[in-house]
Amino acid sequence: MVFYELFVRSFYDSNNDGIGDLKGLTMKLDYLKELGVEGIWLLPIMQSAAFHGYTVIDFYSINPSYGNIDDFKELIQEAHNRNIKIILDIPINHTSVKCEWFQKAVNGDEKYKNYYVWANEKTNLKEKRHWDDSLIWFKYKNKYFYGLFGSSSPDLNFENKELWNEIKNIFKFWLDLGVDGFRLDAAKHIFDYDIENMKFKYQHEKNIEFWNEMVNYIKNINKNAIIISEIWDSPEIVKKYHGIFDVEFNFPFSYYIKDTIKYHDPRILVQGINETLHHYISGSIKSISGNFFTNHDMERLMTTFNEDINMSKMAFNILMTLPGYPFIYYGDEIGMRGKIIDVNYTEDSQEPMQWYESGFGPGQTEWKGCKFNPPYNFISVEEQEKIKQSILNHVKDLISFRKENKWLENSLISNLFNDRFTISYILKSHNKEIKVYHNIKPQKTKVKKETYKSYKIYGQGIIKDNYIVLEGFSSIILEK
């Protein structure tokens, strides 16, 4: 399956308030269908005061800026009519301080007090989170709460088993509305604070117990539900969770792809495949690798490559010619730019989707100024649909190839090899086999021509008598 990560606020506006909404997304489903998208991962759409939606006020409601439950039902129906699945992002690690649960807790309700983690005499109120030295304890009405993701995001206390039932009710609510699965935000953070010793500590065994129970619950309601986990960590930590979820986001591999192209070094990709796609070499596949290069918390691809379109096309060549499920961040298919200066401020990587070359037109969202994607810079669907060599049409062609060869999702990798210019590998599944060459450098190179039934070139290349001339940042796929 080819997935598309979509931020409703930035996508398409149906009522001229400048904010993307569910009706607007429904109006643009045909664009996604034509692109080749088979599943939409929706960033949180529940009621939230935060622009990104990750601090939820009410888990059983729709953000009124996006519409209502009926709009969501219509979206699901229309998506399903086009054979597109809807995967909902649910951030259950924490709530908003505006959440009714938290407000009841701070006002003394014993049931809801036990939903959160509070400071006591053992607490070091100056403790900071390990990745950027931000504080993790915050004062609210003379009480200190634990909030790993900021002062507006009090963490839930999953030592409280009553809370587990509350979370199950949330999953059931959305499944009953027709969603096809969930993206589980911050999956390794369910148990990340040692309450007994009052200090930050990942407790992976407890996380695994929790998620096993939740996944089994979800599958009992809908055995075909797709469960996607976000575990942003080293390959060693990701391996601990292998087999629990249907799809595991492969964060380490996202960096391997980008660094391979950025530094023109095919050895990096070989290392990345060996380290993070090893289960597609050994055949011990228990969870599908969710492959991507960027998301809403990361710098956009074109910015990473200093706006080099050929390098971005090369990244898509790699993404679409490996096993697993590819995920595309909205706007990357038209080369949108976006830089994150601070992990706490991600707006610049979530700018409005650019439909028009002028930057204005029906449905164009305008909730934020386009610092990185200004008008008349060839960063629009309108302009790129016209030009055969655009990144948009390049991505469409790759997705079309991918969908014609669904077997690639579960294929095995063999014959992994690199020289100074290229990386090559064979993908096999039953009686199907292809060989792929990627020229990672900007200069052209030659590769040996082999017996094949057909070939596809993504980029530029010429087939000679006994060799192939492959231009820089180009790939060739040989069907055996």
Residues forming the active site:
185, 230
Angle at 365 between CA 359 and CA 366, to 5 degrees: 75
> What are the CA-CA distances from residue 122 to residues 118, 119, 196 (Å)?
11, 8, 9
Alpha-helical regions (H) of 388-430: 391-404
Which neighbouring-strand residues pair with 474?
439
Q: What is the dihedral angle through the alpha carbons of 462, 463, 468, 471, rounded to the nearest 10 degrees?
A: 10
Backbone angles phi, psi at 252, to 5 degrees: -55, -40
Contacts of residue 436, Cβ cutoff 8 Å, sequence gap at least 6: 321, 424, 425, 426, 427, 475, 476, 477, 478
CA distances from 350 to 131, 353, 377 (A): 22, 8, 18
How far is CA 341 from each of CA 224, 252, 348, 354, rounded to the nearest angstrom? 39, 21, 9, 22
Pairing of strands 454-458, 474-479: antiparallel
CA distance 47 to 63: 4
Contacts of 313 (CB under 8 A, 6+ apart): 391, 394, 458, 459, 473
- Let me know: does 438 contact 318? Beta carbons within 8 Å: yes
Cα 244 to Cα 230: distance, rounded to the nearest angstrom = 12
